[in-house]
Chain A
Amino acid sequence: MIRFVLVRLFRALITILAVVTFAFVVLRMSGDPAQVMLGPDVPQDSVDAFRKAWGLDQPLWIQYIAYLKSIFTGDFGVSMRDKASALRLVMERVPATLQLTVPALILKLVIGIPAGVYAALHRQSFADRGVILLAILGFTIPSFVMGLVLVLIFSVMLGLLPSGGQDTWMHGVLPTITMSIGGIGILARFSRSAMIEVMGQPYIRTASAKGLKWSDVVWSHALPNAAVPIVTIVGFMVGSLIAGAVVVESIFSWPGIGRLLVVSVSNRDLAVVQCILLIIAATMVVSNLVVDLLYGWLDPRLRSHTGH
Chain B
Amino acid sequence: MANVELGEARTVRMANGRTSRLPQTVPPLVFLGILWLLTMVVVAAFADHIRPYNITAMDLTSRLSAPGSTKHWLGTDELGRDVLSRLIQSIRLSLIIAFGATLLSAVCGTLLGFAAARFRGAVEHVVLVLADFQAALPFLIMSLAVLAFFGSSMVLLVCLMGFYGWERYARIARGLAIAAGAQGYAAAVVQLGATPTRVYLRHILPNVASTLIVSMTLTFPEIILMEGGLSFLGLGVQPPETSLGNMVGFGREYLTRAPWVMLAPATVIMLTTLSISLAGDWLRDKLDPTVS
Which residue of B233, B277, B278 contacts A247 across the interface (Cβ within 8 Å)? B233
Chain B residues proximal to chain A, CB less than 8 Å = 1, 4, 7-8, 10-12, 14-15, 128-130, 132-133, 135-138, 140-142, 144-146, 148-150, 221, 225, 228-229, 232-233, 235, 245, 248-249, 252, 255-256, 259, 262-263, 266, 269-270, 273-274, 276-278
Q: Would you give the shortest CB distance from B42 to chain A, in whole angstroms?
A: 22
Which residue of A136, A233, A243 contacts B274 across the interface (Cβ within 8 Å)? A136
The docked-state distance in angstroms from the alpha carbon of A240 to that of B141 is 11
Which residues from B are CB-within-8-Å of A123?
15
Majority secondary structure of chain B interface residues (helix, strand, loop or mixed): helix
A229 touches B255 (CB 8 A): no
A247 touches B232 (CB 8 A): yes
Q: Which residue of A lies closest to B245 (CB)?
A: A144
Which residues from A are CB-within-8-Å of B132?
11-12, 14-15, 18, 285, 288
Q: Would you give the shortest CB distance from A97 to chain B, in whole angstroms?
A: 13
Which residues from A are CB-within-8-Å of B259?
152, 156
Question: Which A244-288 residues have a C-beta within 8 angstroms of B?
Answer: 244, 246-247, 250-251, 261-262, 265-266, 268, 273, 276-277, 280-281, 284-285, 288
The docked-state distance in angstroms from the alpha carbon of A156 to that of B277 is 31
B144 touches A18 (CB 8 A): no
Known: A197-B7, A250-B233. A22 touches B137 (CB 8 A): yes
B11 touches A281 (CB 8 A): no
A152 touches B255 (CB 8 A): yes
A145 touches B269 (CB 8 A): yes
Which residues from B are CB-within-8-Å of A262?
144, 233
B133 touches A22 (CB 8 A): yes
Chain A residues proximal to chain B, CB less than 8 Å = 11-12, 14-16, 18-19, 22-23, 26-27, 29-31, 123, 136-137, 140-145, 148-149, 151-152, 156, 189-190, 192-194, 196-197, 200, 229, 232-233, 240, 243-244, 246-247, 250-251, 261-262, 265-266, 268, 273, 276-277, 280-281, 284-285, 288, 307-308
The docked-state distance in angstroms from the alpha carbon of A261 to that of B144 is 9
Which residues from A are CB-within-8-Å of B263?
149, 152
**14 A–B pairs (Cβ distance < 8 Å), ordered by A:** A18-B130, A22-B137, A22-B142, A123-B15, A142-B229, A148-B255, A232-B1, A232-B4, A233-B4, A243-B141, A247-B232, A247-B233, A277-B141, A280-B137
Top 4 A-B residue pairs of the complex, sorted by shortest distance between their CB atoms:
A193-B11, A30-B149, A197-B11, A140-B273
The docked-state distance in angstroms from the alpha carbon of A200 to that of B7 is 13
Known: A15-B129, A145-B269, A229-B7. A243 touches B12 (CB 8 A): no
Which residues from B are CB-within-8-Å of A29?
149
The docked-state distance in angstroms from the alpha carbon of A247 to that of B235 is 12
B15 touches A193 (CB 8 A): yes
B148 touches A30 (CB 8 A): yes
A288 touches B149 (CB 8 A): no
Known: A142-B269, A288-B136. A23 touches B233 (CB 8 A): no
Q: Which residue of A lies closest to B231 (CB)?
A: A144
The docked-state distance in angstroms from the alpha carbon of A273 to that of B143 is 13
Q: Which residue of A lies closest to B257 (CB)?
A: A156
The docked-state distance in angstroms from the alpha carbon of A247 to that of B248 is 13
B141 touches A246 (CB 8 A): yes
Which residues from B are CB-within-8-Å of A19?
133, 136-137
A26 touches B145 (CB 8 A): yes
Which residues from A are CB-within-8-Å of B248?
144-145, 148
Which residues from A are CB-within-8-Å of B235?
265
Known: A14-B129, A151-B255, A193-B11. A144 touches B228 (CB 8 A): yes
The docked-state distance in angstroms from the alpha carbon of A31 to that of B149 is 7
Q: Would you give the shortest CB distance from A233 to chain B, in whole angstroms?
A: 8
The docked-state distance in angstroms from the alpha carbon of A123 to that of B276 is 23
Which residues from A are CB-within-8-Å of B150?
30
Q: Which residue of A lies closest to B148 (CB)?
A: A265
Which residues from A are CB-within-8-Å of B145?
22-23, 26-27, 30, 265, 273, 277
A136 touches B277 (CB 8 A): yes
A142 touches B4 (CB 8 A): no
The docked-state distance in angstroms from the alpha carbon of A71 to that of B275 is 47
B144 touches A265 (CB 8 A): yes
A190 touches B232 (CB 8 A): no
Which residues from B are CB-within-8-Å of A243?
138, 140-141
Which residue of A11, A152, A194, A280 contacts B11 across the interface (Cβ within 8 Å)? A194
Which residues from A are CB-within-8-Å of B130?
18
B136 touches A144 (CB 8 A): no
Which residues from A are CB-within-8-Å of B140?
243, 246-247
Q: Which residue of A lies closest to B178 (CB)?
A: A308
Q: Which residue of A lies closest to B251 (CB)?
A: A148
B273 touches A193 (CB 8 A): no
Which residue of B133, B232, B245 contacts A18 across the interface (Cβ within 8 Å)? B133
